[in-house]
Amino acid sequence: MPKKREKEKKNGPSRPGLRGRVWMDGPEGTFFGHGRAVLLERIIEHGSITKAAKSMDMAYRHAWDLVDSMNRQAKEPFVEVATGGKGGGGARVTKAGEQAIKMFWRFHKDLQAFLKREEKKLRL
């Protein structure tokens, strides 16, 4: 057996399993998912889109585009931004954003529990 296949066999699951991801779609496509939830959590942690993006090895422009997309598609903005200046700017996740984070992680947890239950039924 080639070495690559041996390595895959050793590192892979011992039997077939189920995997899944959850995200929310909006009028513009992906509205909210894992990466956006983590981005909002990092904005809460750092108080800044710039610092949140750096902590995720993400370009500021990409982080800003994600925040802008969420704010446009949500009924209420998820992030409020203060413009820079002498004291610098900042960003704050709103109550609506905090609710979206909680809702997403609940959906994620529920999906993982569902997959784990259903995986037991696999007979492959």
Q: CA 89 to CA 50: how far, in whole Å?
A: 10
DSSP state of 24: E
Domains of the chain: 33-119 (1.10.10.10)
Q: pLDDT tens digits, the chain, 124 residues: what are they? A: 455 555 555 666 677 889 999 999 998 988 999 999 999 999 999 999 999 999 999 999 999 999 999 999 999 999 999 887 666 779 999 999 999 999 999 999 999 999 999 998 887 6
Pairing of strands 79-82, 24-26: unpaired
H or E element: which one contains 79?
strand 79-82
With DSSP H G I counted as helix, E B as strand and the rest as coil, what are the percentages for the chain, rounded to 5? 55, 10, 35
- Which pTM value belongs to this model? 0.82
- Written as six digits, the tokens of 112 are 């993982």
